[in-house]
Structure 1
Amino acid sequence: MPSVLAVGVVVFAVNAGATWQPPLGDPDPRDEAAKYCETLMKSLPTEVFGHARTDPDPSPHVATWGSSPRTVLRCGVPRPESLDDIENQRAESPSVDNVTWYMEKDGHGGYRFTCTKRKVFVEVESPAGAYPNFVDPLSLISTPVNSTIPDSFGRLNAGDDDAA
């Protein structure tokens, strides 16, 4: 029994100092959504505020920047379940470069952003401590989203997600 306790203490000690990393789960967009995601992935920046881009293999719809902690973009994710709550639908959301982002805390001090008024849901995880301001990565990611993922009216490079 003492050896089991020692192993548990070592595992806890190693994990206690580890930085939480956003998951890399590969979304599975289909048909038209997959084409939009492929176009988006080609237009994303190679660097976000000094964090180099790396694409996990074989995840064609996932991009990451940095390593610890890493910023993760996933294209073609499902609609966030928390948007079923009418209060969350009415919550204030950041709009960056004409893309509206639904914002959720990730449970680890960072934020998860999902663009909601587009033909495809794109999710960006901005982990705690990665940037001076948690919305910083959106300033470099929103323009490619706006130019590759049509808004809910089918427009690219729309001036405002809320405009009719």
Structure 2
Amino acid sequence: MTYSSRRLLRPVLRGPSAALLLLAAAGCSPGDAAASVTVPTPSTEAAAYCRALDRELPDSVAGLERNDPEPGSELTAGWGDGAIVLRCGVERPARMDDDQSKGITANGVNWMLEQRDGDGPRLTTTLRVTYVEVSLSQEYAHDTTPLAALAPAVEKTVPKRL
């Protein structure tokens, strides 16, 4: 690039234009909306466990601040802009009937693993009186840190199925 072409670009990168360019380059804009999810419709008993869980959830998970999805509900929570999304009171996944389904244990909580095409994994608690589902972005596909961070709240508020 010659001196004269650099000089022509310089005015474009000053003042408010520079801030807008940086926002566009970062992939965000003023007023970005939170992720959107379907809110579960659990029984009254399950919803009570979910409300208790919501009060115990951490403010940050895997270095991401809590940023709940839309529509706002005590049955859903999120961290980052949809990188980690929790839904409480979901239906029992049909995959739990599969003897070949895979699972993981994190801090005393068992989770059934479902791989999703083109996205990160979805994990659902097992052996609990209500089901808690966590969807992870591809970035966390091989990282148990989010589950380990959420497990203490699940353990404290959602009893084991007897």
TM-score by length of 1: 0.71
Does the 8 A contact of 1:41 with 1:63 survive in 2? yes
Q: Which has the higher helix share?
A: 2
- 1:83 matched to 2:96? The reply is yes
Amino acid at match of 1:112: R
Counterpart of 1:42 in 2: which secondary structure? Answer: helix
Structure 1 residue 151: Cα displacement? 0.2
CA offsets, 1:61-97, max 9 Å, x none? Answer: 0001001x52100000001112222322xx3x11111
- 1:59 matched to 2:73? The reply is yes
1:120 maps to which of 130, 133, 143: 130
Q: Give the ranges of 4+ consecutive aligned residues of structure 1 lying more than 4 Å apart after TM superposition.
A: none
Amino acid at match of 1:53: R
Structure 1 residue 106: Cα displacement? 1.8
Q: Per the alignment, do residues 22 and 100 of structure 1 end up closer, same or farther by CA in structure 2, a change over 3 Å counting?
A: farther
Report the equivalent of 1:35.
48
Q: State how many pairs are aligned.
A: 129
Does the 8 A contact of 2:35 with 2:68 survive in 1? no
Structure 1 residue 23: Cα displacement? 5.9
Does the 8 A contact of 1:46 with 1:52 survive in 2? yes
Over the matched positions of the two proteins, sequence identity in percent amounts to 36
Q: Which has the larger radius of gyration?
A: 2
TM-score by length of 2: 0.72
RMSD of the TM alignment (CA)? 2.2
Gaps of 5+ in 1: 1-16, 154-164
Q: Per the alignment, do residues 72 and 42 of structure 1 end up closer, same or farther by CA in structure 2, a change over 3 Å counting?
A: same
Gaps of 5+ in 2: 1-26, 28-33
- 1:143 matched to 2:157? The reply is no
